[in-house]
Amino acid sequence: MLNKTPGVFLLFFVLISLLSCTDDSQDNSSKNSSEPVNKLSTTESSAAKQQPPIDKKHDWDGIVKHGSLRIIVPYSFQHNDFLPRKSVSYNNELKLITRFAEAHNLTPVFVTVKNFSQMLPSLQQGLGDVIIANLTVTESRKEKVNFTHPVTHVFEQLVVPDAFFGKGNSPELLNGLNIGVRPNTSFWETIQAIKEKQNNINIIELDDKITPDEKFNKIISGEIDAAIVDSNRLTLMSEYRSDIKAVLNLSEERPIAWAVRKNNPVLLRHLNRYIKTEKLLQHIPAQRLGDLDSIKKHRQLRLITRNNASTYFLWKNQLMGFEYDLIKKFAKQQKINLKVLVADNYTQMIDWLEHGYGDIISAGLVKTEKRAELPVLFTDPYLFVQEVIIQRTSEEAIKSIKDLNQRTFYVRKSSSYWNTLNTLIPILKSQGIEFAIEVVPESMETEEIIRGVIDGQYDLTLADSHIIAIESSWHSSIQASLPLTGENGHRWIVRKDGEKIIKELNKFIKKQYKGLFYNVTYNKYFKNSRNMFNSDSRESNDNKISAYDDLIKSLAKEYDFDWRLIAAQINKESKFNPKAKSWAGAKGLLQVMPRTAKEVGISNLEKPENGIRAGLKYMAWINAQLSDDLPVDVRVWFTLAAYNAGLGHLKDARSLATRQGLNPDRWFGNVEKTFLLLSKPKHHKKSRYGYVRGIEPVTYVKQIQALYELYSKKHLDEV
């Protein structure tokens, strides 16, 4: 978060115009920066330049005096630029430095830069106190800054297609290969050193803006033969990509550490002491059995769940989900870290729990007779739901059991719905009522089965009432008819030896259930409309689009956007209500997330000018991440889609378009199609950012396009 001290606040603006990290030891999808614009206003820029660095010569005493630790980071360290599924990510550095700051009563102030070449100079100039960036320690860097004890170690690895057949794993493997590398990275130094010894290597210089997935797509398409990646990054990417592999370590194991200025020895000493203590406490084996004592000893609670709209997902660069939010709150109260493990199905969740890969299952599960036989413990209920029949809206509603005759239900065999329906079969058969049950793949989420019913692929299905609430909040085409059960309680599951954690979880449920935090979280996911603001095409009598036309024109011109497009977007986002607030917490005329607003140095989003400026800065930043080669109109549609769902999901949709034989550089009829596919497990499990309700950005773009056309006709001469 930003320090509210004026000096720190203004200094933030100096950094937010820098370009994204170019070291492949950072995530390049992080061309991202906290400054989502390609330029600052003159006023902001000059004010920032006049502000001197904060006590850069006073070492630790100056930091303590000002009460803040300024942390220089790439964008990806402040944002979830991937969906954590299993691995402990390098973002743990962010958690570690935050805990360090809080342990010393300091406010962590994140100073985000875009261009890796600017990170060390920013530190040396006193614009920050410490760099955390999955930063490889090299001799050339050690001449400029001091490094802490290592926070981890990595290998630089040669990555090739999974089908690659090479000559063993010796350096001769490199001969004749076209290896894609970005300049100004440790990888560039590594491959240049190897080329001096082996001339038969072709180094292909990659664009600075290329993302890891785009780089790997070039390998798969044959544009390049290989690339280089840090081993910890490859571990993360292997969670959703199986088409690449490492065949050769190009370096010895190399330390990843934090950097401080040469004249900051006391800060270095404090950091080293803290890292040493944390490293001793945080050795976490892959498998770990034990109760709450073991969890606290290792400072990590491992949550097993699924990636869907009711449990855990990424939306607008923020990890969300009802189950996730509750368990995160519990972990925070226990003062332990939370790690998320995304399972493919119920069987895998139970297997991971029993074998010690995770500590708790939270995935909207009820206690059935079959599940009660497992060697597990169930908490008290934390959510009560009914199982309700879902059918098409074009049909007459099912009002009684008799209406089920000759109908067919489609459900997963491992679900509680299967048990409910099989219990009913003999009862109804004795009354001359017969229905069938068809099994769908275990990988299918209930939301996807519901869409199958709506689209006519399936006849009927069952769904828990809370899932129906979520789906209904997005659109009105669901017909929920007859409940087949009374209220069942959703429960968390732990191993049978978890008496202590089950006790603490039950205390948590008892205290939180129906309390303020619980009710706010429940309403956020199950009651608040996701489509709160339907676009309004009406104009006022004086032929204005809104009361904010002059303000929109002025700010849109400043950030180089067509004001009629921005007016259409504001209409869609907030219906011109500056006090509007979305289900996810976005505020203002352009519905900006509070964290994004802080990153661009803007507060009080309910003030019309602030709400528009924050949104436009973010829009301009997204636009700057896109290739200059894209057609102007395509950049607009891509920017809008990313504004709605997050830049990461747009990247996934473009990558999927390539794999589907569509054009990744066109929106209509191409990337918009693949956005829709990312709600299906078949596709989102192989995507970096996971599940997204693709219909939302697709509809968002279409509605804004329609409004823009309308406004353009009536305001033709007001570009």
How does DSSP classify residue 157? Answer: E
CB 182 within 8 A of CB 211: no
Q: Which two tokens stand for residue 705?
A: 């396009």
**327-332, long-range: CB < 8 A, 24+ apart:** 327/301, 327/303, 327/360, 327/362, 327/492, 329/508, 329/512, 329/517, 330/301, 330/504, 330/505, 330/508, 331/301
Q: Which of 203, 149, 152 has its CA nearest to residue 180?
A: 203
**504-512, long-range: CB < 8 A, 24+ apart:** 504/292, 504/330, 504/334, 505/330, 505/360, 505/379, 506/379, 506/380, 508/329, 508/330, 508/333, 509/379, 509/380, 509/381, 509/382, 510/380, 512/326, 512/329, 512/382
CA dist., res. 436 & res. 443, Å (int): 21
φ, ψ at 71 (rounded to 5°)? -110, 115
Beta bridge partners of residue 408, listed in sequence order = 436
| CA of residue 75 relative to chain centroid, distance | 13
Q: Which of 79, 13, 89 has its CA nearest to residue 51?
A: 13
Options 573, 599, 672, 696, the catalytic residue: 573
Those residues with Cβ within 8 angstroms of residue 342's Cβ, 6 or more apart along the chain or in another chain: 83, 84, 85, 86, 305, 306, 307, 312, 690
The DSSP string of 556-623 is: HHHTT--HHHHHHHHHHHHTT-TT-B-TTS-BTTTTB-HHHHHHTT---TTSHHHHHHHHHHHHHHHH
Q: Is 434 a catalytic residue?
A: no
CB 392 within 8 A of CB 479: yes
Beta bridge partners of residue 496, listed in sequence order = none
CB 578 within 8 A of CB 611: yes
How does DSSP classify residue 669? Answer: I
DSSP three-state, residue 199: coil
How does DSSP classify residue 354? Answer: H
φ, ψ at 528 (rounded to 5°)? -70, 135
Beta bridge partners of residue 439, listed in sequence order = 411
CA dist., res. 410 & res. 403, Å (int): 17
How does DSSP classify residue 137? Answer: P
Beta bridge partners of residue 592, listed in sequence order = 587
CB 74 within 8 A of CB 28: no
Residue identified by tokens 């809104």 is: 546
The residues annotated with a catalytic role in the active site are 573
